[in-house]
Structure 1
Amino acid sequence: MNSILRNIFLATVFFMAPLSAEGKAVLPSFFSNNMVLQQKSNVPVWGTTAAGATVKVISSWDKKSYTSKADKEGNWSVTLKTPSYGGPYSVSINDGDYLVLENILIGEVWLCSGQSNMEMPLDGWGKINNYEEEIRNAAYPQIRLLQATHTTSATPLNDLKIDTDGWQVCSPSTISNFSSTAYFFAKKIYEEKHIPIGLLHSSWGGTVIEAWISKGALKEIHDFDIAIKVLESVSDKEALKKQFDADSKVWNATMEKAERGNNGKWETKEFDYSNWKTMQLPQFWENDALVGFDGVAWFKKEFNLPTAMKGKDLQLNFYADDDDKLWVNGVYIGTTSGYNVLRNYTIPANVLKESGNVIAIRVTDNTGGGGIYGKETDLILKGGNESFSLAGKWYYAVGVDFTELPVRPYLPADQNQPTVLYNAMIHPLIKLPIAGAIWYQGESNADRAYQYQTLFPMLISDWRNKFGIKDMPFYFVQLTNYMKAKDEPGASAWAELREAQFKTLLNLKNTGMAVITDIGDAGDIHPKNKQDVGYRLARIALSKIYGIPMSYSGPLYKSFNKKGSDIIVSFTFNETLKSTDCRSLKGFSIAGKDKVFHWAEAKVVGNTIVVSSEKVKDPVAVRYNWADNPDGNLTNSSGLPASSFRTDDWQGITFGNK
């Protein structure tokens, strides 16, 4: 029987087959047209229909028919055996009604998760490098996209909420709001292997790692027992919220009382601020004098009204992190909350004068970056068709540093409660065979970096267990370089988080780490170069899974030994150790028993690095790129940067933070 007659015969049988009940099969959201199924796997397909109904499923790649009888709740399931990659195919489902899923590809399915740097789209709020050109060129019909919706749940869910009707074919019309890192990862693999790629993108900006781990795993360490108990109990949750509101009211009153700007009437035009320090705006204040500062700071600037703007209401635009209040000439204009919200204030004409207008902006930053930030074109005053920039020198002063106050009450946002993202955005997928996972997260846990040494390998092991894939490939991005570079070596929470990631790489099989401390942005926690991030992750997968000989790692610290006043450091991936710019090596520091680090001289000797300093005659420890924003330049024949490391085990600044 030729293939055309066989297909007609199968279709006839399918339609004529008697069924025990009539119904309409309902499938989980991720079974749709355009989907990708993992190659060479046993793939379950399931859903609901009328209780007792017989469901018949035919896969077009092997023409096999599978039958399942729905239980009393209407649940049914069959398992399809997928071939090597190819397509397009279809899957037909008949439970009395006839449903066909079309344009299905068999290939490699990757789960892509983490926080905002994984979520960062090509366009939208992301606007990565060359985003317009990248979007125009994103015609890859063999790459398919599934976008999970931000959802939380106190208990594990069985279906995934998604942003679209199902899988989307990668094209200029579908890629703009999708994860840029995931896209470039898939693009590189496809261009090398021409295997269809399915991307399950399930991430949420600003989230902590414990939100992505199952309850069963988290209960092993007891760090989150109270939070989990609260999540499980409505009465406990309400009591906790009531206590938090009461504590917050007291704390806010204490903060406002301590705030020097309130007491000194800094918002008034008459207040003399000439002795304040100055700062160039826009920029995050961590990049200037207020490194690591959380609290309230005031900014003031004087301007004269351009002739063309006289007698007009003006619009003032800028970005602030997190919240702000605005006065002009002592007149209160308004307030805005939210770190990613463009301020758009109207300043009435009757508030303004021809000269000597004074703007006062009070900015409150609760955590992370703070200040008035963005591009110079974001900080602008407009009147009709006229505008001028307020970028440049502003005066500033600290109203209150939160370290001066009692510890602030804390209640995790819904999405940062333990387990809630695992329950809603990972658990629905665990029956699906996948090729592996890529992960881009850590910023939100940097202040608890020591705890991350436990939580990160826990997440990987937890997901492997839940997906039933022993040693499932898990590739991740190490924290980038960020914030103002420091002149001298010192402590760093971000370096400690990178160490936790590095230790996970060393201790768990079948993991891979993309180091990106050479492509970050001191002033932007969301660096725009997502191309190289995705490509570096892909190089790991291509080498370790897809059989393409390809270098994928810079030098990784292995061991050290002392020889006189030198410390000799050995590495894995030590082929052709060198600097990235053919200059002397940077980023190394050395310390004696006093634990005081000094910048060091470092030179390549064979496949080792010899580190020394005239200031340290009897060294005991070396660190490399141990900073929020390091500038080390060690690489190897791959051209990829070396991971930060330290040879000591001295207690860090995040030790004990939970």
Structure 2
Amino acid sequence: MRKYFFKKSALVFSLFILSSNVINATVSLPSFITDNMVLQQKSTVPFWGESDKKSVSITTSWDKKTYKANVINGKWNVVLKTPVYGGPYTIAINDGDLKTLQNVLIGDVWLCSGQSNMEMPLEGWGKIDNYKEEIANADYPQIRLLQAEHIESTLPLNTLKVQHDGWNVCSPKTIADFSATAYFFARKIYKEKKIPIGLIHSSWGGTLIEAWTSSGALSTIHDFDVQIEAMKSETNAAALLQKYNADMGDWEMKVRGADEGFETGKVIWAAPNFDDTSWKTMKVPSFFDSNGLGNFDGVVWFRKKVNISDTGKDFTLNYFADDDDIIWFNGNYIGETRGYNVERHYTIPAKYLKKGENLITIRVFDGAGNGGIYGDENITLKSDKETISLTGDWKYVIGVDSKDLPGKPYLAQGQNRPSAIYNAMIAPLLDYKIKGVIWYQGESNAERAHQYQKLMPLLINDWRDKFKDKNLPFFFVQLANYKQQKEQPGDSDWAELREAQFMALKVPNTGMAVTTDIGNVEDIHPKNKQDVGARLANIALAKVYNTKIDYSGPLYKSYKIVHNSIILDFDFNEGIKANEDSLKGFSIAGSNQKFYWAEAKIVDGKVVVYAQEVPNPVAVRYNWADNPEGNLTNASGLPASSFRTDNWKGITEGKK
């Protein structure tokens, strides 16, 4: 009996061990090799994973072919041959334990990347035009979605962190938090060609182009050597941080010295007895850029008087400020917060309260873009017994304009360190075969727009090298119109960034979607993403899918001076015309480099530009502004890109 028991026990134990080994032997695949994925058609496609067995066999249902691979150091890889588009198919992977990938399509895979305008989802924080209807109608099972997580790294990674367990079928249930631009791009291509489309969305709002570029490529231009070295060494990183902190301390002292709200270092505009009758009023919450201050960057002070009846309890005050703020209550310092997207949570101690009239003072510093006090439509001051609305008119005045300040020190941190996002969100994908790239980025680099002239071609060629495809299609969106319009022609960093994007068209097999007609004066994230995606799709249809379709407005080619006029010639000039009425958006200058608004007319397919104020013209600019209003187009109806004929030094030249 005892002998039988031991034999039975040994058998059970052996079966347990065998079962455990089978479970442990289950093949492991990259996060982006899952059910519902799309593999690139008509290609040799790398396919890989891990196993603790000696060999793996892979069988593809489209050709019933079996590929075998030896496992070396726990890793295996094969190269699959894919047919013309179709499916769904299965892929069986067997290392002793069978794993089958279901609902796999063969089609075209597009990598969609950039910053927030590429990231902008249909719903969520995006809420694009007609988002409810668009989501309800997003039933496209032949479009597949892969969403990368926001991850950064000092060194290249082998694994990509993804959402929703990998690839998902496009449907009303899956599309809401996906890139709107990418979705509309895929939708148009699919409708035209009926080819399954796989979208790999890997973007991150507020990021810089150098963060998406490999350190090897960046090292060839030497603009980021110090930051790259700091990523390799804690000692270098500490030294860089120490220098930045010292520079920031000096800079903040200079800001306070120039800010009229301070006098010999002491705050005077927060004092309850200060006379603010000459100050203007502004509605809060709102951005001050759209409340009479135009494209202002710098310090704005706000004051508001409120009546309080219960002074026995602390009050709380929550709001957002763009970018940094300091708050006082009845002249008493309460606190300060940095960051445009950080909600403020302040407590006003009861000891600072008084019955009757009380004064709140908020100093807001804005470094770029929108600035102000924003957030919930009804900002309130609350205690356990009382709620006081702060929505409405506040007194305000400018403390100092950034134009009168030295440049703010900058330290690349987190995801914006050079190569940090490339390492985590692009490098893991390099062996996954793709058809091409769509890119929407540039807003964050506008202050260094001249540098972008070399950064964008660098990124394109870097990715082509890393994906081992020297002709990889790369199509991008030129910055939309944004900010307040200016009455007179002048300098613009956004125009200089658009110029850098235009210049990137010199790189072969690229394309640019111009969007200066569909932006928003008050919103850096315009909600018309349908046209953005469709314009990118038109470029792809023309350049990749050999479809006869209009995909570009006029692009500046050359100029010549004839008497008191400048004659401009364009590529894509068929049917060149004004979109409505007469041509707008042109300015002209003589040798003194002072620009005046110009008259412009179309003669024999060319644009003739002149102005009475400039009898001897030297240069012309078109749509050279943050928010231009030019209307030059062609038979396609698509807008012309902004441009200039001169090479005079811009406001961002030399900034790194």
TM-score for the superposition, normalised by structure 2: 0.89
Residue 530 of structure 1 corresponds to which residue in structure 2?
529
Deviation at 1:449? 1.3
> What's 2:222 paired with?
222
Contact 1:20–1:54, Cα closer than 8 Å, also in 2 = no
- Gap runs ≥5 in structure 1: 1-18
Q: CA offset at residue 625 of structure 1?
A: 0.2
Name the CA distance, whole Å, in 2 between partners of 1:142 and 1:274: 64
Q: Deviations 1:59-85 (Å, cap 9, x if unpaired)?
A: 1111100000011x2111011111111
**Quick check: 2:412–2:418 contact (8 Å CA) kept in 1?**
no
Q: 1:604 aligns with which of 596, 602, 615?
A: 602
- TM-superposed CA distance for 1:651, in Å, is 1.3
Contact kept, 8 Å, 1:21 with 1:95, in 2: the verdict is: no
Q: Distance in 1 between matches of 2:24 and 2:82?
A: 28
Distance 1:389 1:478, change over 3 A: farther
Q: 1:411-422 counterparts in 2 under 5 A?
A: 411-422=411-422
SS in 2 for 1:522: coil
Residue deviations 1:415-452, cap 9 Å, x none?
11111111111111111211100000011111111111
User: How do 1:70-469 residues align onto structure 2 when only pairs under 5 Å count?
Assistant: 70-71=71-72, 73-252=73-252, 255-256=255-256, 259-262=259-262, 263-288=266-291, 290-291=293-294, 293-302=296-305, 318-330=319-331, 335-343=336-344, 358-373=359-374, 377=377, 393-401=393-401, 404=404, 407-469=407-469
Assess, with a 3 A threshold, how the Cα gap between structure 1 residues 21 and 348 changes in structure 2: closer, same or farther: closer
Cα 1:353–1:446 change in 2 (3 A) is same
List per-residue Cα deviations over 1:350-380 (Å, max 9, x = no partner): 98889755442221224443222468x3656
- Equivalent residue, structure 2, for 1:57: 58
Length, aligned pairs only: 633
Which AA in structure 1 matches 2:302? F
- Cα distance change on mapping 1:333 and 1:248 into 2, 3 Å: closer
Relative distance call for 1:380 and 1:572 in structure 2 (3 A) is: farther
Change (3 A) 1:243 1:562: closer
Q: CA deviation at 1:301?
A: 3.2
C-alpha contact (below 8 Å) 1:37/1:106 kept by paired residues = yes
Q: Is the contact between residue 208 and residue 416 of structure 1 (CA under 8 Å) also seen in structure 2?
A: yes
What letter matches 1:371 in structure 2?
Answer: G
Seen in structure 2, the aligned counterparts of structure 1 residues 264 and 231 have a Cα distance that, compared at 3 Å, is closer
Of 203-212 and 398-407, more deviation after overlay is shown by: 398-407
What's the counterpart of residue 586 of structure 2? 588
Measure the CA separation in 2 of the matches of 1:646 and 1:513.
Answer: 17
- Higher mean alpha-carbon deviation, 549-558 vs 276-285, is at 276-285
Q: Using a 3 Å threshold, how does the CA distance of structure 1 residues 655 and 131 change in structure 2: closer, same or farther?
A: same
Structure 1 letter corresponding to 2:475: Y
Picking from 645, 649, 652, the partner of 1:651 is 649
Distance change >3 Å, CA 408–CA 594, structure 1 → 2: closer
Is structure 2 residue 33 aligned with structure 1 residue 26? no
Taking the aligned partners of 2:378 and 2:439, their CA distance within structure 1 comes to 32
Percent sequence identity over aligned pairs? 59
Q: Compute the RMSD of aligned alpha carbons.
A: 2.9
What SS does the aligned partner of 1:181 have? helix
Q: Give how far 1:319 is off.
A: 3.4
Once the 2 structures are TM-superposed, how far is the Cα of residue 457 of structure 1 from its aligned partner? 0.7
Query: Separation in 2 of the partners of 1:617 and 1:282?
Result: 48
User: Structure 2 counterpart of 1:29, which letter?
Assistant: S
Q: 1:645 to 1:283 in 2, by over 3 A?
A: farther
Q: Tell me how far apart the structure 1 counterparts of residues 230 and 487 of structure 2 sit (CA, whole Å).
A: 45
Distance 2:91 2:100 in 1: 6
Which deviates the most, 475-484 or 21-30? 21-30
Q: Any idea what SS the aligned residue of 2:83 has?
A: coil
1:342–1:532 CA distance, 2 compared to 1 (3 A): farther
Query: What is the CA–CA distance in structure 2 between the aligned matches of 1:385 and 1:197, rounded to whole Å?
Result: 58
Q: How much has 1:256 moved relative to structure 2?
A: 4.6
Measured in 1, the distance between the counterparts of 2:227 and 2:24 equals 46
Deviates more, 1:92-101 or 1:234-243: 234-243
How many Å separate the matches in 2 of 1:387 and 1:144? 49
Cα pair 2:22 2:97 within 8 Å, conserved:
no
Quick one: structure 1 residues 184 and 350, their matched pair in 2 at CA, closer, same or farther if it must change by over 3 Å? farther
Moved more, 79-88 or 355-364: 355-364
Give the drift of 1:23.
Answer: 2.2
Letter of the 1:646 partner, please give it: R
Cα distance in 2 between the residues matched to 1:246 and 1:651: 31
Contact 1:49–1:75 under 8 Å retained in 2? yes
Greater shift, 428-437 or 326-335, is seen at 326-335
Aligned-partner Cα distance in 1 for 2:286–2:60: 56
The letter of the residue matching 1:175 is: I
User: Measured at CA, do residues 245 and 564 of structure 1 come closer, stay the same or move farther in structure 2, by a change above 3 Å?
Assistant: closer
Distance in structure 2 (CA, Å) of the matches to 1:393 and 1:558? 51
Q: Note if contact 2:295-2:484 (Cα within 8 Å) is conserved in structure 1.
A: no
Deviations 1:316-367 (A, max 9, x none): 6643211323445556665544323455667789988897554422212244
Q: Does 1:48 align with 2:50?
A: yes
Deviation for aligned residue 1:398: 2.9
Query: C-alpha distance in 1, partners of 2:591/2:254?
Result: 43
Matched residue, 1:9? none
- The aligned residue for residue 38 of structure 1 is 40
What secondary structure sits across from 2:192 in the alignment?
helix
Deviation of 1:314 after TM superposition, in Å, equals 7.9
Q: Displacement, 1:36? A: 0.7
1:154 alignment partner AA: T
- Partners of 1:288 and 1:484 within 8 A in 2: no
* Helix, strand or coil at the partner of 2:261: helix
Distance 1:246 1:354, change over 3 A: closer
User: In the aligned structure 2, how far is the partner of 1:402 from the partner of 1:588?
Assistant: 28
Name the counterpart of 1:615. 613
> Letter of the aligned partner of 1:569 in structure 2?
L
3-state DSSP of counterpart to 1:235: helix
Letter in structure 2 aligned against 1:38: Q
Aligned residue type for 1:594: N
Is contact 1:213-1:462 (8 Å) kept?
A: yes
CA distance in 2, matches of 1:284, 1:586: 29
* 350-359 or 319-328: bigger deviation: 350-359
Q: Cα distance, 1:399 vs. partner?
A: 3.2
Instruction: Please report how far the alpha carbon of residue 600 of structure 1 lies from its aligned counterpart in structure 2 after TM superposition.
Output: 0.5
Structure-1 residue corresponding to 2:638: 640
Amino acid at match of 1:576: G
Structure 1, 291-300 or 447-456: larger mean CA deviation: 291-300
Q: Which residue of 2 aligns with 1:7?
A: none
1: distance between equivalents of 2:110 and 2:56? 29
User: Structure 1 residues 20 and 359 mapped into 2: Cα distance closer, same or farther (>3 Å)?
Assistant: closer
Letter in 2 for 1:157: L
For structure 1, which segment, 400-409 or 180-189, has the greater mean C-alpha deviation from structure 2 after superposition? 400-409
- In 2: Cα distance, 1:588 partner to 1:392 partner: 40
| Aligned residue type for 1:554 | G
Structure 2 CA distance for partners of 1:344 and 1:44, relative to 1, 3 Å = same
Residue 530 of structure 2 aligns with an amino acid whose one-letter code is: Q
2:158 and 2:361 map into 1 onto residues whose CA distance is 51
Q: Determine the structure 1 residue equivalent to 2:520.
A: 521
